[in-house]
Structure formats: structure tokens, C-alpha cells
Structure 1
Amino acid sequence: MGMHPSDTLSQRSLSSSRLPWKAKVADIIENGSWSFPQVPLLNQQLWSRINFQPNLSREHSVDWVPNSSGQFTISSAWEHLRARKPINVLHRLLWHNIHIPRHSFVLWLAAQGRLRTMDRMHYLNGEDTTCRLCARVPETHDHLFFMCRYSLQVWKFIQAKAHTRWPNLPWNSLVEWTSRRYQDTKSTNNKIGALIFAATIYYIWQERNKRIFQQLTQPANTVGEAIFQVIRDKLMCSNGISMADGTRAIWNIPWSTMPLWDDGQHH
């Protein structure tokens, strides 16, 4: 973004032109040409930037360059000023029209490595940081989702019951693969895939917390069944989505709960 002359020149330098502070463009035009004040510093830093002649036959107007229409808008100003970063494809996995907010929030933290796993806590020397789910190795994000033996059992259960398959990848690679695989949330099946991923992360994290803070434990299959049922409940009460017969059969969703229209997946 270009700098305004007042950002590079002192008030003393600008005052040396003897132009009033409320001067207009017309004040430096004479006989159809520019008539710049002869101040060496301004000649070098300011007037040299003007490489065109005034057009007196054209009506004066002000154009807002960042907008192709030339009109100033708040949105165009924001787009012009804001810092730009690459689009994070994870957002479509998290924020689709049937997402479960608490699941999406925990998945977002997990994807950023911001959940307070044992490796991120400040423990005194000798404090036990072993994973509470498998009791085998220190707990980290990479271990907890899904290298942990217990988490892997939950993951395999829900994949088998929902008839889905994910590749066996390290956590960060799995997040990236899932984000790209299910980013097109116009597809009902992709929405279901996103729901499964977020719900599994959420329930594994909840099981871990229950073991630490409440001394409560559940078998992996019980957690997997809870994941399946919460997604089924979400699909049962979601309006405006349609499913192929095979998908409805997997989730045990009768026709009476579904809309009468179809998005092309029904056979």
C-alpha cells in the first residue's frame, strides 16, 4: 500500500511550498499545465511522482482505486487494509450447516495443537504425564488422536459402524487429509464425514477428561456407540438434507423423518 506524502515529508517541508493547507489541485495548474512550487525537496520527492498532465476538459471526480467501480465502500476498504493469509481449508470441515458447535470448537483447538494435553502442562519433576487412555506412553496431540491404542479402538468402531474409512496417518497429516477430502459440504455424505471426525475427537477428549477429573472410565465400544448415536440424532433433526437409501439404512433413519425432496443422491 502506497504512503501519503505527509508520511514521508515533514510539515516544515510541506509548508515551504507556501501552498495553503486547504489548497486544491486547481491551485497548481496554470494555462492547462502543472505549475509546481519550486522547492527542491518537493520537486524530488513529491512532484516527480506526477507523470501526467491535467485534463481540463474532463469533469473532476474522485475514484476509490481499491474498488473496480471507483466507489468507496467499507467492505472494499477492509479488503484493502486487512492482512491476507492463505485460506485454511479446515473451516469448511468445521462450520457447515449441520455441524455441532461444541464438537467443532474442540476439533479446532485440537487441529491447532491447543488442547491442554499433558505435554503442554507445566508439571513438577516426576509428575506422571502418561496417557490416561492407554497408560503406555506420554500424552501428546499426536498420540491422543489416533495413535493411542484406546483411541484407535474407538476410531475403528465408528468407522466399521458408519461404513467409512480414513487413512492411517499422523495427526497433522490426518487433519489435512480430512479437511481436503470433506471440504465440499454440499454433499450430505461429506457433511456426515465431517460430523464423524469432529464427534470422534470430541468424545475421545471428553473420555480423557473424565478419567483425569472424575475417575470415570468407559470401554471404547461404549464411546464409539455414543458417537454414532449423537450423529444419528443430529441427522434425524436436520431439515433440508437428503440421503441415499444406503446412507439412511446405515444410520437407521426412516423416510418419515426426511424431507420429500432429493439432492440427486437418491437411487
Structure 2
Amino acid sequence: MSKPPSLWSDWHWNKHLQERSFWTIEPSTTDSWAWRRLLKLRDLALQFCKVSLGNGKSASFWFDSWSPLGQLITHIGPQGPRALRLRQDAVVADALQDSTWILPHPRSQQEVDLHSYLTTISLPLSPDIDDIYEWIAGDSPLRVFRSSTTWEILRPRQEEVDWHDVVWFKGAIPKHSFTMWVANYDILPTRSRLATWGMAITTDCPFCSRSIETRDHLFLRCEYSLDVWREVFIRCHPPVSTFTDWSELLSWIRAVGPAKLKLMRKLATQTVIFHLWKQRNNLIHNQISFPPASVFYFVDKEMRNIISARKHRNQFQSLMAS
């Protein structure tokens, strides 16, 4: 909109806009996927994209947010161009004549609001200053687009949970963290959950076939999983007693101790959960079974790879000798 000096901007101006408003242009079947996605994001962009008036010769009167009222076509309504006798493609300067606003007498509260704001604008507009398009995201002093500040405004927010650092932390493997995150919310599609959805399947644990497959049984109480955990405990200091539920696992990870031990427990827990779930799926869907010792071998190998790949980081250096 501000026509920055870039090949990307010039191409879109000549290919798609051709002096038309970005806010009103309709997507074409020949448009690229990226351009169509940009057009779909216009409603979100409106809350950030503002115009600082200069000479009023480029800011769209109806579709650019040059006043605190936002888009005037939305504030006044689709009948606005007829009511104010300004065509839809008018710029702000078209509403001025000899340093005077030439709008008709207001007939609605929305038009009164507009007239009230116009009285605060110093006239005449500066003829040598171009209209400036700014990206205003919250309290950020910057007036250009930055994905980080924009995401801070848009991202959904919830109260901080006490287990966040067990799931998301520097050095974690994304696929491990994701599996841990889903498991922590107890929404993995275990057989007991699938049965509650109406699926006609057995609810027996695929590892032991002696108990119902719930999250806590699958990962913490099944003898198959316990064999894997016993090997992990040799290297990560075992808990006082065997885990009986998920909260005890989280407490063990966060237990008081050296920082390197906490990091080791986080990494090990996520790796174990990931590989147990992977082996569970392998067994159900591919009929491929490995003994617990093999699963721990995969866990141990991946732990070594994780640590060695991050040995240049201070927090991982102390794990190299562990």
C-alpha cells in the first residue's frame, strides 16, 4: 500500500492491484496461493494497518483506516458513498476543496462522529508530505510490520500452567515435546478413549493385555513400560516409589536437585513417552513387537544423539560426561 522500494511490492502492484484498493480487490482463480492467503488475512490486518495523513492523495477515504473510526465504509455503512456524495474509490483529498471539507450535513450519528473528528484535523493538509502507512501493534514503538510483535497481539492467552517447563524448554525435540504435551492433557487416542467415542474395539493394553489401556497404565504402570523406566532410573535417580499417576511423574521431573539432573529427567521422560507411544502404535498397526530392552536401546541412542548434537550449549556440556 505504501509502495516500498522492493521487487516483490512492485510486482504485486502491477500484477494484482493496478491502482485498485488492496481492501476491495476480489481474488481471481489465476492468483497464486500466497496472494489468495494474503487477501484472506485482510480482516486481521485492518486492526494494525493505519494511515498517518499527509496530503491525503493516496489514502482511501472509505477503506483505509486514517481516522480512529476505522474503515468509514464499515462505520457509516455501504450507503456511505451516496450519503456523503463521495465515490467508493475516492481518496481523502477528494473530500476537500480550498482547505474546507465538502461533506454534506450529517444525517446519522455515524456521520456526526466523522464530522466531529474532521474538526480536529489541521487544514490545509501538507501538500509536500505523502500519506504514510503504518503497522501499529500494541505499544510497540515501531511503525513497521514485525511478525514477533504482531503475534504477541494475536496469539491466544491462557493462565500459565505449572508444567509448561516440563513440556517446552530449550533443547527439547519438537516431536517429543508435542507427544508429551498431548499426553499431559490426556488426549492421546488410547483404546479406552477410542471406546468412549463409540468405536467397537478392545480396551486391553496392547503390551500386557491384562488391564485397560489408559494413559497412566500405558506409560507408568504396565510391566512392559516399567522395564524401560527401570533402565532410565539407573541413570536419572529413581523416585521414592513407583509412579501411580501422571502427577507423580511430573513431581519427579521437577524434584529438587542439580540443574543437569532436571534437564536429564526432562529429556529422558519425553524420549521414553515418545518411544513407548511409537512402539504401542507399531504393535497395533504393524504387528511389530520389540522387547523393552530394545525400546530402551532406542531411548538411550536418541538421548546420546540429543546431548551430543547440543554439546556446544552450556546447559548440555555438563551432560556429556553423564
TM class by shorter chain equals 0.5 to 0.7
Correspondence for 1:205: 277
Looking at structure 2, the residues matched to 13 and 245 of structure 1 have their Cα atoms a distance apart, in angstroms, of 66
- 2:177 maps to 1:107: no
Aligned counterpart for 2:84 among listed residues 17, 35, 41? 17
- The 5-angstrom pairing of residues 237-252 of structure 1 reads 237-241=309-313, 248-249=320-321, 251=322
Structure 1: which amino acid aligns with 2:231? F
1:154 aligns with 2:224: no
> Do the aligned partners of residues 206 and 19 (structure 1) sit closer, same or farther apart at CA in structure 2, a change above 3 Å counting?
closer
Partner deviation per Cα, 1:152-174 (whole Å, 9 max, x = no partner): 44324312322265994743x46
Alignment-derived partner of residue 50 in structure 1? 117
Instruction: Give TM-score scaled by structure 1 length.
Output: 0.63
TM-score, normalising length from structure 2?
Answer: 0.55
Q: Which amino acid aligns with 2:280?
A: R
CA contact (8 A) 1:210 1:217 kept: no
Cα pair distance change 1:244/1:20, threshold 3 Å: closer
Asked if 1 retains the 8 angstrom alpha-carbon contact of 2:203 and 2:212, the reply is: yes
**Aligned residues of 2:134 and 2:144 also touching (Cα < 8 A):** yes
Separation in structure 2 between the aligned mates of residue 245 and residue 101 of structure 1, nearest angstrom: 21
SS of alignment partner, residue 239 of structure 1: coil
Residues 242, 17 of structure 1: alpha-carbon distance in 2 compared, 3 angstrom cutoff: closer
**1:132 equivalenced with 2:199 (yes/no):** no
Q: Deviations over 1:166-190 (max 9, x none)?
A: 994743x4687689x49xxxx6555
TM-superposed deviation, 1:55? 2.7
Quick one: percent identity of the two aligned structures? Answer: 20
RMSD: 4.5
- Residue equivalent to 1:66: 136
Asked if structure 2 preserves the Cα contact closer than 8 Å seen for 1:66 and 1:80, the reply is no
- The alpha-carbon distance between structure 1 residues 244 and 201, as it changes in their structure 2 partners (threshold 3 A), is closer
> Residue deviations 1:10-67, cap 9 Å, x none?
3323322123442425835877x86752031265564266286223488565463624
- Give the Cα separation in 1 of the matches to 2:219 and 2:151: 37
Task: Tell me how far apart the structure 1 counterparts of residues 119 and 193 of structure 2 sit (CA, whole Å).
Answer: 60
Instruction: Kindly indicate whether the alpha-carbon contact (under 8 Å) linking 1:162 and 1:228 is maintained by their aligned counterparts in 2.
Output: no
Work out which structure has the larger RCO, using CA pairs closer than 8 Å and 6 or more positions apart in sequence.
1
Task: Tell me which moved more, 107-116 or 57-66.
Answer: 57-66
Q: Structure 1 stretches of 5 or more lacking a match?
A: 252-267
In structure 2, the gaps of 5 or more residues are 1-46, 48-68
Q: Does residue 1:118 correspond to 2:186, yes or no?
A: no
Q: Tell me by how many angstroms 1:201 deviates.
A: 0.4
